[in-house]
Amino acid sequence: MINEAFQKQYIKSLSILEDVIKKYDSELWYDDRKYKSPIWFICYHALFCTNCYCSASEQDIIHWKNERKDYHRFDKMREMRKQNIQIEPYSKEELLDFIDLILKTIPQYLDKFEPEKRCWPQWYDENQMEFHINNFRHLQHHVGEIIERHDIVKNLEYQWK
């Protein structure tokens, strides 16, 4: 029952992000002048973490084919920019592809779900149940952040079910 509920919540949360990505103004997608992090980066960070933290262990992570080293880390990206290191942004289409991968892998991630077992990232003092709830919170935090930057809420097609 918990697995089914979590799967539904991941699908709903990722569907909202998918709709936000589709609706987002392309010019603002890459803009990093007004904010420290452009929208494409926040989307990627949220998706990278969602994918990793859905897995039962670090060994179980199904990595996305377009994954780039450290592109999910705020500190590393800022450091790269300061050093004028070339950063290749992800496109909307690429991140929509990443959402598809995560949606396909969630069922097999949740098959190994053990609510009371300690979660795998050792820096979190939580069991797997708490950690999935934390993962939902983190994903929705960034979705809200993205929506706040651009008035697209009224244009979202997602059905709040």
CATH class of 7-155: mainly alpha
Which of the residue ranges 37-46, 53-62, 79-88, 98-107 would you say has the lowest mean pLDDT? 79-88
3 state SS of 127: strand
Mean pLDDT of 44-73: 88
Amino acid 32: pLDDT: 72
**pLDDT reading at 68 higher than 90:** no
Close Cβ partners of 152 (under 8 Å, ≥ 6 residues apart) = 20, 23, 24
Predicted local distance difference test score (pLDDT) of residue 74: 60
**Using CA atoms, how far apart are residues 159 and 16, in angstroms rounded to an integer?**
9
If residue 78 lies in a helix (H) or strand (E), which one and from where to where? helix 74-82
The stretch 124-153 carries a mean pLDDT of 87
Give the mean pLDDT of 128-140: 94
Residue bearing the bigger pLDDT, 85 or 121: 121
The confidence score (pLDDT) of residue 152 equals 57
Residue among 10, 38, 9 nearest 24 (CA): 38
Least confident of 37-41, 63-67, 77-81: 77-81
Task: Answer whether residue 77 shows pLDDT above 50.
Answer: yes
Closest of 84, 1, 99 to residue 43, by C-alpha = 99
Short-list 51, 53, 50, 32, CA closest to 41:
32
Phi-psi region of 66 (alpha: psi -120 to 50; beta: other; left: phi over 0): alpha
Model confidence pLDDT, tens digit, residues 89-123: 899 999 999 999 999 999 999 999 999 999 888 88
For the chain, the domains span 7-155
User: Mean of the per-residue pLDDT values for the chain?
Assistant: 85
